[in-house]
Amino acid sequence: MTFQLTEEQRMIQMTVREFARKEIEPIAGKWDRESLFPEETISKMAEMGLLGMMVPSEYGGAGLDTVSYSLAMQEIAYACASTSVIMGVNNLVCEPLLKFGTEAQKQKYLVPLAQGKFIGSFALTEPGAGSDAANQKTSALLKDNFYILNGTKMFITSGSHAKVFITTAVTDKAARHHGISAFIVEKGMPGFSIGKIEDKMGLRASDTTELIFENCRVPSENLLGKEGEGFKIMMAALDGGRIGIASQSVGIAQACLDAATRYAKKREAFGQPIAEFQGIRWMIADMATEIEAARLLTLQAALLKDRGLPFTKEASMAKLFASEMVNRVAYKALQIHGGYGYLKDFPVERYYRDARVTTIYEGTSEIQRNVIAKLVLSTED
């Protein structure tokens, strides 16, 4: 497959790059150190259309394609991985609303989400349902036009800043994944509260929280799709989300490579810049090659999605490869920096911590391998 960006895609890439390098990169270290949620920057990104990139303009979005979304995610992640996950999750929440929402739900929730008037969260994971996402314990009981939700969600990105949450609960226990339904929950609904804010290793400018439902009353018109469709709705959304995380991984990795090459050309040892040593050169060559491979896998998955072709396998491949790649690349970038890489004075220390979660969230590497193997093995000869 050859890959040529269109004029419009290149323009989006350059515009977002300029914005991210000027407005985000210089302060990302401070946000990380002080765990500051980048509220103002998110508002600027909303004005640029980055929070609902693939939502048609009639619903408040930028009406762009997935390739453009991937390019933008790469640029934002290059500057600040925390900011990119906030952007990624908002885009992730828009997708099921667009595909499965009623017209009233779209007007009420999708339009302001895509415009970035408020931000959204994707709440699937529970304390006992991570990789085994169908093992949901949160329940929903229909009573007098309200679903009564009880349970706890965990590891929820943007939990304490979001206004709208797409979540799941069991409406029919006996039916396993066919008994899971999706709901739109608003901050402030009775019985809904934010629990613990997690103290994370990386992505420290993005908040990750618990959500607690205690007899939470959700109007029945906030059911997303039909009863029992929730698992499929969330799985389908995650296919697209995985392209986002692959893009984020490519962006962080490119930042690692650029930092490492800058450092290697300046730092001298044994009478010459360390970039002259074969050991360093080969590390840089491997990093650059792996990043390129991950970028192509990611753009390929995005292109398939844009063409309306099946892309589940390709999205998992891109996510698997790019997330494992960024961890190898961050390791090498830190190694090239030597002792300085271990200090918070150099951004590579932040990249190393931020990269770690990419093999875990939106499906671990082990889950991606299961998805890929299932699809490879089910292909007819």
Catalytic residues: 362
User: What SS3 state is found at 36?
Assistant: coil
- Best CA proximity match to 148, nearest among 177, 166, 164, 171: 171
**Measured distance CA(320)–CA(317) in Å, rounded:** 5
Q: Where are the alpha helices (DSSP H) in the chain?
A: 7-19, 25-34, 39-47, 66-79, 81-100, 103-105, 111-115, 230-266, 278-306, 312-337, 348-356, 365-377
Which of 222/316 has CB closer to ligand CAA? Answer: 316
Q: Does 347 bind ligand CAA (CB under 6 A)?
A: no
The single residue among 298, 312, 323, 359 that binds ligand CAA, judged by CB under 6 A, is 312
Q: Which of residues 121-150 bind ligand CAA (CB under 6 A)?
A: 122, 124-125, 131, 133-134
How distant, in Å, are the alpha carbons of 48, 65, 187, 202 from that of 51?
8, 13, 19, 22
Q: Should residue 231 be labelled a site residue for ligand CAA when binding is judged by CB under 6 A? A: yes
* Number of residues lying near ligand CAA (CB under 6 A): 23
Strands 120-123 and 164-170: parallel
Binding segment (CB under 6 A) for ligand CAA, from list 9-17, 60-68, 94-102, 364-372? 364-372
Judged by beta carbon, residue 159 or residue 341, the one nearer ligand CAA is: 159
CB within 8 Å of 371: residues ≥ 6 apart: 312, 313, 316, 363
Q: Which is nearer to ligand CAA, 52 or 179 (CB)?
A: 179
- 165 in contact with ligand CAA (CB under 6 A): no
Is 183 among the residues that bind ligand CAA (CB under 6 A)?
no
Question: CB neighbours (10 Å) of residue 377?
Answer: 7
Q: Is residue 203 close enough to count as binding ligand CAA by CB under 6 A? A: no
User: Exactly one of 27, 212, 235, 293 binds ligand CAA (CB under 6 A); which one?
Assistant: 235
CA 103 – CA 92 distance, rounded (Å): 19
Contact partners, residue 81, CB within 8 Å, separation at least 6: 202, 203, 248, 251, 252, 350, 351, 354, 355
Taking CB under 6 A as the criterion, the residue among 227, 239, 314, 354 binding ligand CAA is 239
Question: CB of 216: closest distance to ligand CAA in angstroms?
Answer: 20
Figure out which of the listed residues 177, 200, 217, 369 binds ligand CAA, where binding follows CB under 6 A. 177
Catalog residues that contact ligand CAA under the rule CB under 6 A.
85, 89, 122, 124-125, 131, 133-134, 157, 177, 231-232, 235-236, 238-239, 312, 361-363, 367, 370-371
